[in-house]
Amino acid sequence: MKLPSINDMTDKALKAFKRFPITLSWAITGSLIFIGIVNVDANLLFEEYAGLLLTFILGISWFIGARFFIEQTKKPENWDWLKLIILGLLGLFYMHLPDLSGYDHDPKYFIRFFLYVIAGHLFLFTAPFLLNWNSKAYWNYLKSICIAIGRSILFSGVLYLGLVLALAAIQALFDVAIKPERYGQLFIFCLGIVNTWTYLSDFPKDVLQQRTINYNKALEVFVKYILIPLVLLYLVILYAYTLKILLEWSLPKGWVSYLVTALAILGFIIHVMVNPIQKTIKSWIIKKYYPWFYVLLLPLLVLLFIAIFRRIADYGVTENRYFVLIIAIWILGMVLFLLLSKKKQLKVLPITLCLLALLSSFGFWGAFSISKNSQVKEFQKVFQEVNVNNNIASNEQINRLKSILNYLAEGKSLHKLDAFVGLNTYEICKDTTEGSQRTYLSNAPQRLLDTLGIELDTIDLVKHRNGKSFNYFAPWDANKTYDIAGYDHFSLINFNDYDDYKMKIGDYNFLYHQKNKAISFFGLTDSSLTLRMPIRQKLLDLTKYGTNMENIPEEKLILIADNDQISVKLIFTELGFQIINDSIQLNQARTYLFLKQK
């Protein structure tokens, strides 16, 4: 076998640049910019310049796809405007991104990026065949893509590994200090420039003319003995599960929708792989794959839709459920198309999926609008139920409300509740910590529930907290200053349920009753009870913040009691207790005690 010479490689590289000037210029420019950023500070790449990184990544597949499409038109020079449109859309994408330098971003921007990347690759998979169709040429085109991807990953991966080992050898043998940033810069160079250039260097130009099928034995074995048996295994499992829920007369679990979706997509991939040779190959299982796979898939699609609509009926629409539902509708449409259509052009699969990815990213019909409006309605429904019950909520209702509020807070959409609850949610839940880059406090849902006066039913609370341990520790870096004005005495007190605790403070004895879960103050002279502070209900109230109570608002850790003789303020700084049946076991309580004698 003749190895390629330097001249051959240079010639291929130049031809690739002439064929894909915009794509390679885009890849080279982006890579050099990011190499320069890493040289200053690698963290900047994922903070201040994260939007630029996403935009350059996004452009690669769209520019390649545009070039593949233009090459197959009758007058390629008349389609150059398409590249300008893509460039303009990339600019709009970059401009619509918010400041991504913080760590609490609205996830919709990253979801949109993911959708556009998927759409770009699906566009690339079908670009030369948008105006023309030939099943054999299409199969060869997809095969060329897979070979090009494998070759480019191999070449760039080996080059990167070799250069890294060379740098490590130089550092070890010659005691030369090499900055860690150099390895990151090499990675960007190999991935952004070498990988892209290698991918494009040998890719065939006249893809519509490549109509000779070379179906090697290894691929046939892979499909016949690995992929199709896997599909049959999943079919058996899902049909067995369907029989189970029919016998038990129960609804399917939500996760089954992911398995049916994965099975359908795997089935589509296999169909594409065997389509050119299905009628001529001697293998019985490959010949019968179509249409029997789709016939067997149809009953499972019923299971898929039941599982999806069950989750939506119970909890409303979120982005995940929206996309699962959209994919389920797409799968059903493609199955019916492949079974009933006479043409059965397989390019319909990626084209329609590409359009769905684009359309679902914006508009009132898109994933974000529908999901947020659905969750707002879910909140209104649960809140009205709680409101009718005098703002006393069950554990399930509290968790549901918290889940919705967390979702809306992550999507920066709590303000959608303002008109309904009659509050300015942003003012209540915004993070005012100096230097904070968050929009909302981490405990925003609980703060909002407290402001709305929603309380957990005590009976339900004990029932659902039984057997659990709850702990709170003040943050190690919390520098708290407490105002002692108006108080005569201060003391640091530790007590627990292992024994009654007694100490003197001012003219009174402090006593913790481990049996009654109460603190009492007795006069030193006459031993009469002056003030009693129950803490059982306080401990129960704190359990709504979860077992790791790190997000408790500071004011919720304070107990205040007074009468005409004394005034007392107790602040918990550490706390640990368990709920066992109907009782509370206090393992640890570290407190600051302020006392005023009147």
- Closest to 383 in 3D by CA, of 431, 410, 409, 417: 417
Q: Is residue 312 part of a domain?
A: yes
- Note the pLDDT of residue 1: 44
Do residues 438 and 491 both lie within one domain? no
Per-residue pLDDT reduced to its tens digit, 359-401: 999 999 999 999 999 999 999 999 999 999 888 888 889 889 9
| Burial bucket for residue 453 (CB in 10 Å: 0-12, 13-18, 19+) | exposed
Percentages helix, strand, coil for the chain (3-state, rounded to 5) are 60, 15, 25
In sequence order, what are the beta bridge partners of 456?
393
Do residues 33 and 111 both lie within one domain? yes
Tokens 């989750």, residue? 311
Do residues 44 and 179 both lie within one domain? yes
- Note the pLDDT of residue 583: 81
Q: Is residue 557 part of a domain?
A: yes
Domain count, the chain: 4
Do residues 437 and 497 both lie within one domain? no
Q: Is residue 231 part of a domain?
A: no
Last residue of a domain, one of 191, 209, 227: 209
Q: Is residue 217 part of a domain?
A: no
Do residues 484 and 591 both lie within one domain? yes
Q: Is residue 566 part of a domain?
A: yes
Do residues 135 and 178 both lie within one domain? yes
pLDDT under 50 in the chain at which residues? 1
Contacts 24+ apart (CB under 8 A), 268-274: 268/334, 268/349, 269/227, 270/223, 270/227, 270/228, 270/231, 271/338, 271/346, 272/139, 272/142, 272/346, 272/349, 273/219, 273/223, 273/227, 274/223
489 lies in which domain range? 472-597
Tell me the Ramachandran region of residue 283: left when phi exceeds 0, alpha when psi lies from -120 to 50, beta otherwise.
beta
CA distance 568 to 585: 24
Do residues 60 and 137 both lie within one domain? yes
Per-residue pLDDT reduced to its tens digit, 152-183: 999 999 999 999 999 999 998 988 888 999 99
- Note the pLDDT of residue 461: 65
Do residues 101 and 151 both lie within one domain? yes
Which H or E element spans position 122? Answer: helix 108-126
Q: Is residue 464 part of a domain?
A: no
Last residue of a domain, one of 169, 190, 209: 209
Do residues 440 and 488 both lie within one domain? no
Do residues 30 and 167 both lie within one domain? yes
CA distance 273 to 220: 9
Q: Is residue 24 part of a domain?
A: yes
Question: In this structure, are residues 132 and 388 in contact, taking their beta carbons and an 8 Å threshold?
Answer: no
Q: Is residue 328 part of a domain?
A: yes
CA distance 439 to 411: 10
Do residues 448 and 485 both lie within one domain? no
Do residues 479 and 444 both lie within one domain? no
**What residue spans of 180-255 are helical by DSSP H?**
181-188, 196-201, 217-222, 228-248
Last residue of a domain, one of 289, 324, 342: 342
